Structure 1
Amino acid sequence: MIKYVIKHITFPLIARREGLAGIMRGVESLEESQYWPPERIRELQNERLRKLLVHAYENTAFYKKRFDDSGFNPYTFKDADELAAIPVLTKEQIRSNVDALKARNFTPGELHHAETGGTSDVKMRFFRDNRCMPMKEAAIYRFNRWAGWDFGDYLGMVWPAHQDFIGHDTWKSRIRNELYKRNVLFPAALIDDRACEEYLRLFEKKKPAAILAFCSPIHELAKYMAKKGIDGHRVRGLITTGEPLYDHQRRLAADVFRCGVLDSYRTREVGPIAQECGAGCGMHVNAECLYVELAGKRRLAGSGEQAGGVIVTDLLNYGMPFIRYNMADMAVMSDKTCPCGRGLPLIDKIVGRALDVFVTPDKKLVSTIALVMYMVNAAPGFFGKMQIVQDATDHLTLKMTRDPLPGPEVMEHQKNVVERIFGPRMRMTYEFVDDIPCEKSGKYLFARRLIPIPE
Structure 2
Amino acid sequence: MIDWAYQNVIIRGFESGLKRRKTFPYWRELESSQWRSRRDIESLQVRRLRVLLNYCNTYCRWYRDRWAQHGIDVHGISSLADLRAFPITTRAMMRDNAADIRSSQNGIGFVSKATGGSSGAPLRFLIERDANDRRVAAAFRGYGWAGASPGTRQSHLWGVNLNPMSMRRRMKEHFYARLLYRRDLLNSFQMSDSNAGGYVERLNRFRPKVLVAYANPLFVLARAIDERGISVHRPESIIVGSEKLYEHQRALIERVFGSPVYETYGSREFTLIAAECDHHQGLHVTSENMIVEVVDDQGNAVAPGEEGQILVTDLYNTAMPFVRYAIGDRAVAAAGDCSCGRGLPLLEKIVGRQMDVLRLPDGRNLPGAFFPHLIKDISSVRQFQAVQTQPDRIQLKLVVDESWNADDGAELRRRIINTIGESSQLEIRRVDRIDLTAAGKLRVVVAYPDHRTVRQPRIAG
Q: Same fold (TM over 0.5)?
A: yes
Q: Take 1:59 and 1:226, find their aligned partners in 2: how far apart are those partners?
A: 56
Matched letter for residue 149 of structure 2 = D
Q: Take 2:163 and 2:88, find their aligned partners in 1: how far apart are those partners?
A: 29
Aligned partner of 2:23 in structure 1 is 23
Which SS does the other structure have where 2:122 is aligned?
A: coil
Q: Take 1:446 and 1:18, find their aligned partners in 2: how far apart are those partners?
A: 43
Does the 8 Å contact 1:361/1:422 carry over to 2? Answer: no
CA 1:149/1:163 → structure 2, altered by over 3 Å: closer, same or farther?
same
Does the 8 Å contact 2:305/2:335 carry over to 1? Answer: no
Matched letter for residue 144 of structure 1 = Y
1:452 aligns with 2:419: no
Q: Number of aligned residue pairs: give it.
A: 447
Which deviates the most, 438-447 or 170-179?
A: 170-179
1:401 aligns with 2:399: yes
Q: Shift in Å at residue 416 of structure 1? A: 4.2
Does the 8 Å contact 1:3/1:153 carry over to 2? Answer: yes
Which SS does the other structure have where 2:93 is aligned?
A: helix
Aligned partner of 1:114 in structure 2 is 113
Per-residue Cα deviation, 1:417-454 (whole angstroms, up to 9, x for no partner): 33443345444222222222222222111111115349
Does the 8 Å contact 1:106/1:319 carry over to 2? Answer: no
Q: Take 2:402 and 2:6, find their aligned partners in 1: how far apart are those partners?
A: 49
CA 1:38/1:309 → structure 2, altered by over 3 Å: closer, same or farther?
same
Q: Take 1:194 and 1:414, find their aligned partners in 2: how far apart are those partners?
A: 25
Q: Take 1:32 and 1:147, find their aligned partners in 2: how far apart are those partners?
A: 17
Matched letter for residue 437 of structure 2 = E
Which SS does the other structure have where 2:89 is aligned?
A: coil
Q: Shift in Å at residue 213 of structure 1? A: 0.9
Return the match for 2:434 from 433, 436, 445: 436
Per-residue Cα deviation, 1:159-182 (whole angstroms, up to 9, x for no partner): 124269967974555345455322
Which SS does the other structure have where 2:340 is aligned?
A: coil
Matched letter for residue 78 of structure 1 = S
CA 1:285/1:217 → structure 2, altered by over 3 Å: closer, same or farther?
same
Does the 8 Å contact 1:214/1:240 carry over to 2? Answer: yes
Q: Shift in Å at residue 325 of structure 1? A: 0.9
Aligned partner of 2:351 in structure 1 is 351
Q: Shift in Å at residue 89 of structure 1? A: 1.5
Which SS does the other structure have where 2:190 is aligned?
A: coil
1:77 aligns with 2:77: yes
Aligned partner of 1:58 in structure 2 is 58
Q: Take 2:281 and 2:2, find their aligned partners in 1: how far apart are those partners?
A: 36
TM-score of the pair, normalised by structure 2: 0.88
Q: Shift in Å at residue 324 of structure 1? A: 0.9
How much is the aligned-residue C-alpha RMSD, in angstroms? 2.8
Aligned partner of 2:216 in structure 1 is 216
Matched letter for residue 398 of structure 1 = L
Per-residue Cα deviation, 1:232-260 (whole angstroms, up to 9, x for no partner): 41112111111111223212221222111
Q: Shift in Å at residue 199 of structure 1? A: 4.2
Aligned partner of 1:35 in structure 2 is 35
Aligned partner of 2:174 in structure 1 is 174
Aligned partner of 1:102 in structure 2 is 102
Q: Take 2:421 and 2:429, find their aligned partners in 1: how far apart are those partners?
A: 21
TM-score of the pair, normalised by structure 1: 0.89
Q: Shift in Å at residue 327 of structure 1? A: 0.5
Aligned partner of 2:131 in structure 1 is 132
Matches within 5 A, 1:198-209: 198-209=198-209
Which deviates the most, 170-179 or 261-270?
A: 170-179
Does the 8 Å contact 2:254/2:260 carry over to 1? Answer: yes
CA 1:296/1:163 → structure 2, altered by over 3 Å: closer, same or farther?
farther
Q: Shift in Å at residue 372 of structure 1? A: 1.3
Q: Take 1:377 and 1:402, find their aligned partners in 2: how far apart are those partners?
A: 13
Matches within 5 A, 1:251-262: 251-262=251-262
CA 1:25/1:313 → structure 2, altered by over 3 Å: closer, same or farther?
same
Does the 8 Å contact 1:351/1:357 carry over to 2? Answer: no
Q: Take 1:187 and 1:214, find their aligned partners in 2: how far apart are those partners?
A: 10
Matched letter for residue 331 of structure 1 = A
Which deviates the most, 271-280 or 11-20?
A: 11-20
Q: Take 1:165 and 1:256, find their aligned partners in 2: how far apart are those partners?
A: 36
Matched letter for residue 434 of structure 2 = I
Does the 8 Å contact 2:311/2:327 carry over to 1? Answer: yes
Matches within 5 A, 1:176-195: 176-192=176-192
Does the 8 Å contact 2:117/2:438 carry over to 1? Answer: no
Aligned partner of 2:301 in structure 1 is none
Structure 1: gaps of 5 or more residues:
299-303
Does the 8 Å contact 1:397/1:431 carry over to 2? Answer: yes
Q: Shift in Å at residue 313 of structure 1? A: 0.4
Q: Take 2:257 and 2:29, find their aligned partners in 1: how far apart are those partners?
A: 31
Q: Shift in Å at residue 42 of structure 1? A: 1.4
Matched letter for residue 237 of structure 2 = G
Per-residue Cα deviation, 1:73-125 (whole angstroms, up to 9, x for no partner): 221111122222222212222222222222222426x1121111113331111
Matched letter for residue 107 of structure 1 = G
CA 1:29/1:421 → structure 2, altered by over 3 Å: closer, same or farther?
farther
Which deviates the most, 234-243 or 434-443?
A: 434-443
Does the 8 Å contact 1:384/1:405 carry over to 2? Answer: no
Aligned partner of 1:385 in structure 2 is 383
